Structure 1
Amino acid sequence: MRIPRPGARAGRATVGVLLLAATFLALPTGPAQGDPEVNPQSASQNSLKAQLPGVTALIADNPAEGQPGFNDLPTSRSISITEGTVTASQHAVARRSKMSITARPVWAAMYYGEFNNPIESPTGYIGPSCFRKIACTPDPFYQPPCATEDPTTQWMTAYFRHPMYPIKPIEGGGAEVGILTEEKINLIAFGTIPATATLTLSVPRVRGKIQPLIAHLWSDQKTGCAPRPSDIPQASALVEGDIILQLSDLEVDGVPVDLGARCRTKQPAELYLWADFASGNYNANNGGPLGAYDGLHPGSRGPLNDPYYREDNGRTIPPSSGIDIPPFVNCGTSGDDLSPLVSAMASGPNNPVRATQGQIIAFNRIPLEDLSMCGGSPTRPLCPLPAPEVPEMPPLPGGEGE
């Protein structure tokens, strides 16, 4: 990730995913200790072969098996024919230092169409359509004044979700799963002193399992007791997850500063990237513009209330704002606590972000042997690179300049 000096605008990034707002912490990417000596990929493939005999030949010889990162990616989490890679670009502003921040392409392994049927214990996928009862829920963000508890009066929406696992390509094949980016960045210390550091963005693990980013989509299908006005979006989309930030190799005005191996934010930053439909269409399959800044989306009217949401049921989604970067801890060695210095440079609330996700390249699997591999058809190939263009500078609320 590159952070230009104040006022600079160039750069690339990826996956609406990765923001600046994350937490730093380099987490191990190998199998968790105590995991059984069973290849979950192989077990899942055997099940898939039984269900879909037509893809047996494709699955039988998976070049990704044995590649670094293979055992850190799940299987049978989504409709198998649309597993693949996505890239994205990002442009963010750190308000504390008034810096424009961009990054090189970021990769993610996307599992398009997470299993949703049956609701109690999903093992299959039903596409989003309010003609199929399972995929139709009340719109959690917008409802007409005439709506009642009667579902026929409500604006209904087709809901579906897609896990995205950040992956850092390894030269020669494979990937570090869970790593968004590791880049040299430029900082400003004490408001005026130039500094550089290595920034690592990653997602956390829970009980040894990497936690993905989740792309949600609510797409309007039924109108209820009143037509949906043209000034209310026909769809809502959100890419969310926890991000860890870690800093190392700090130099302030050319002088090395030892931060130690565990200089990171006190807790993960919460990433909420809403689809920016005013700038273009977004869905997880084709990608599109995303953002995190004030006023982009109103958030949910109350807690999500439908068994279809499973682990998200009962959760309230806040309105859009910039990303809050928590204070840093564990920075420094030999008894020197440099955490306040690092926090003064990098932490702070409401850091606006714009991002653009690229189109998923479907392979029926994640091509760890060559993440840049093209999909599609011979006459219409689809490739994950080049990544989408960097979005324009995000707005700074409150009349602040660049």
Structure 2
Amino acid sequence: MPIPRPRAGARTGRVAVGVLLLAATFLALPTGPATGDPEVDPPSASQSSVKAPTPDLQALIADDPAEGLPGFDDLPPSRSISQTEGIVTNSQHAVARRSKMSITSQQIWGGLYFGELNDPIENPTKYTTNCTTRVRCVPDPFYQPSCATDDPATQWMTNYFRTPLYPFKPLEGGGAEVGILTEDQINLIAFGTIPATATLTIAVPRVSGKVQPLMTHAWARKVRGCVPPPSELPKTSTLVEGKVTLQLSDLEVDGVPVELGPNCRTNQPADLRLWGEGDAASGGYSPGSGGKLGAFDGLHPGSRGPLNDPYYFQDNGRTIPASTGIDIPPFSNCGTSGDDLSPLVSAMASGPNNPVRAVQGGLIAWGRIPLEEPSKCGGTPTRPVCPLPGPEVPPMPPLPDGEGQ
């Protein structure tokens, strides 16, 4: 069945369209020039590590004009977890397979903390990217030659680093609702023909009251091993991942309110994984300079087995699956006064393997997140760098299982 292609920014389709859009939103990752990105700008000796932040974190934020604004306490203290920080925006294009619809979205906001502190392992206080001393240098988890053994000298190695991203919704007058990927009214079709509207909210979950960021992982390959890597082997692999919840509210069907209640949301968070589409060394995605991301079949093979190095920290021992579209879980707690509308909402919105493409714009590096004015420009007067407008919407992602477009 042909997939309608609404113009950029249109929000038409079924509930599934909105749900997928929001899920795709959190997948998109920030990008932009950032000092020390090993995939684009290998750090010099003076850049390879960043001094630990002063122990008195209050001193770091004492002169921050965002102090006291909404969202300030939900973000990490300035320079406490990364080499640098700033604002990013992104755009995305998603396909909702259940409803056979295609939608686009722009201007998804995030605070990017580039280069998470990684050294020493026991209590990281600085950011180091120097594969020659094995700091953040790990065996390639995705590709290895057949002659590789347990001896690191025979293995293809990669430089590994991580970059947290905190999605947020800017508020009028300054400040932000941290954790919100998107919150917007969508137009949809109920029961196949009846026009309807609803508010769709996608957010990252909180654990013990703390917002859980999205995480960008980057592996930059080094030339070593028992045989040289083949020329077709990508020089980088990048993954943006996290968990998101999707919530529906304010539903009206043909102008008549339908009470969904305050807790109509997915019964568990959805897993979001966006792989870099293309090699950062040849103009594809990297956490510091941005580019194209995707979640669809065949984009990346995933890890050969469990990650096995202490520099993966809490991710050590996990297996990263091959790329695929996003699975939207069933909804629960939808309806009031004893009316359970959860099966109806799930039938419209939930389903597996919904493909997504995204583009991340430039990182506007400030050394802190400017919640008092997120949209202001950086750079120089002659060469300003601004978060808006967001990057151009990417092309529609490929559909799985040979489905037509």
Q: TM-score normalised to the size of structure 2?
A: 0.85
The equivalent of 1:182 in structure 2 is: 183
The equivalent of 1:124 in structure 2 is: 126
Deviation per residue, 1:80-116 (Å, 9 max, x gap)? 5x21011100110110001112223111011101010
Does residue 152 of structure 1 match 2:145?
no
Deviation at 1:50, TM superposition (A): 7.1
Supply the AA of the counterpart residue of 2:267.
K
The equivalent of 1:35 in structure 2 is: none
The equivalent of 1:322 in structure 2 is: 325
The equivalent of 1:387 in structure 2 is: 390
| Secondary structure of 1:298's aligned partner | coil
1:137-176 correspondence to structure 2 within 5 Å: 137-176=138-177
Deviation at 1:192, TM superposition (A): 4.2
1:324-339 correspondence to structure 2 within 5 Å: 324-339=327-342
Supply the AA of the counterpart residue of 1:48.
P
Deviation at 1:397, TM superposition (A): 1.4
Deviation at 1:19, TM superposition (A): 5.5
Instruction: Note the residue ranges of structure 2 that are not aligned, 5 or more in a row.
Output: 12-19, 27-51
The equivalent of 2:373 in structure 1 is: 370
Supply the AA of the counterpart residue of 1:171.
E
| Greater Cα shift, 211-220 or 180-189 | 180-189
| Secondary structure of 1:21's aligned partner | helix
CA separation in 1, counterparts of 2:204 and 2:346? 20
CA separation in 2, counterparts of 1:68 and 1:258? 29
CA separation in 1, counterparts of 2:10 and 2:140? 34
CA separation in 2, counterparts of 1:351 and 1:192? 23
Q: Please tell me whether the aligned partners of residues 19 and 271 of structure 1 are also in contact (alpha carbons under 8 angstroms).
A: no
| Greater Cα shift, 230-239 or 313-322 | 230-239
Q: Please tell me whether the aligned partners of residues 321 and 352 of structure 1 are also in contact (alpha carbons under 8 angstroms).
A: yes
The equivalent of 2:39 in structure 1 is: none
Q: Please tell me whether the aligned partners of residues 12 and 104 of structure 1 are also in contact (alpha carbons under 8 angstroms).
A: no
Deviation at 1:394, TM superposition (A): 1.1
Q: 2:8 aligns with which of 5, 10, 13?
A: 10
Q: Please tell me whether the aligned partners of residues 188 and 194 of structure 1 are also in contact (alpha carbons under 8 angstroms).
A: yes
Deviation at 1:23, TM superposition (A): 11
| Secondary structure of 1:48's aligned partner | coil
Deviation at 1:255, TM superposition (A): 3.1
The equivalent of 1:309 in structure 2 is: 312
CA separation in 2, counterparts of 1:19 and 1:276? 19
Does residue 293 of structure 1 match 2:296?
yes
CA RMSD of aligned residues (A): 2.4
Residues 225/296 of structure 1: CA separation in 2 closer, same or farther (3 Å cut): same
Q: Please tell me whether the aligned partners of residues 24 and 94 of structure 2 are also in contact (alpha carbons under 8 angstroms).
A: no
Q: Please tell me whether the aligned partners of residues 23 and 246 of structure 1 are also in contact (alpha carbons under 8 angstroms).
A: no
| Greater Cα shift, 334-343 or 222-231 | 222-231
CA separation in 1, counterparts of 2:206 and 2:290? 26
Q: 2:103 aligns with which of 89, 101, 104?
A: 101
The equivalent of 1:111 in structure 2 is: 113
Deviation at 1:281, TM superposition (A): 1.4
Q: Please tell me whether the aligned partners of residues 8 and 105 of structure 2 are also in contact (alpha carbons under 8 angstroms).
A: no
Deviation at 1:282, TM superposition (A): 1.1
CA separation in 1, counterparts of 2:299 and 2:350? 22
Deviation per residue, 1:193-220 (Å, 9 max, x gap)? 4432111010000001100000110011
Deviation per residue, 1:137-159 (Å, 9 max, x gap)? 00101111111111011110000
CA separation in 2, counterparts of 1:296 and 1:63? 42
| Greater Cα shift, 293-302 or 367-376 | 367-376
Query: How many residues were matched structurally?
Result: 366
Instruction: Note the residue ranges of structure 1 that are not aligned, 5 or more in a row.
Output: 25-46
CA separation in 2, counterparts of 1:367 and 1:232? 39
Q: Please tell me whether the aligned partners of residues 189 and 195 of structure 1 are also in contact (alpha carbons under 8 angstroms).
A: yes
Does residue 48 of structure 1 match 2:53?
yes
Q: TM-score normalised to the size of structure 1?
A: 0.86
Residues 141/119 of structure 1: CA separation in 2 closer, same or farther (3 Å cut): same
Residues 109/381 of structure 1: CA separation in 2 closer, same or farther (3 Å cut): same
The equivalent of 1:282 in structure 2 is: 285
CA separation in 2, counterparts of 1:295 and 1:222? 25
CA separation in 1, counterparts of 2:263 and 2:138? 43
Identity of aligned residues (%): 70
Residues 90/22 of structure 1: CA separation in 2 closer, same or farther (3 Å cut): closer
| Secondary structure of 1:398's aligned partner | coil
The equivalent of 2:37 in structure 1 is: none
Q: Please tell me whether the aligned partners of residues 242 and 271 of structure 1 are also in contact (alpha carbons under 8 angstroms).
A: yes
CA separation in 2, counterparts of 1:261 and 1:51? 41
The equivalent of 1:249 in structure 2 is: 250
Q: 2:93 aligns with which of 91, 94, 98?
A: 91
Residues 6/12 of structure 1: CA separation in 2 closer, same or farther (3 Å cut): closer
CA separation in 2, counterparts of 1:294 and 1:183? 29
Supply the AA of the counterpart residue of 1:109.
G
Deviation per residue, 1:306-358 (Å, 9 max, x gap)? 00000100010110000000000000011000001101111000000000111
The equivalent of 1:74 in structure 2 is: 76
Deviation at 1:401, TM superposition (A): 3.1
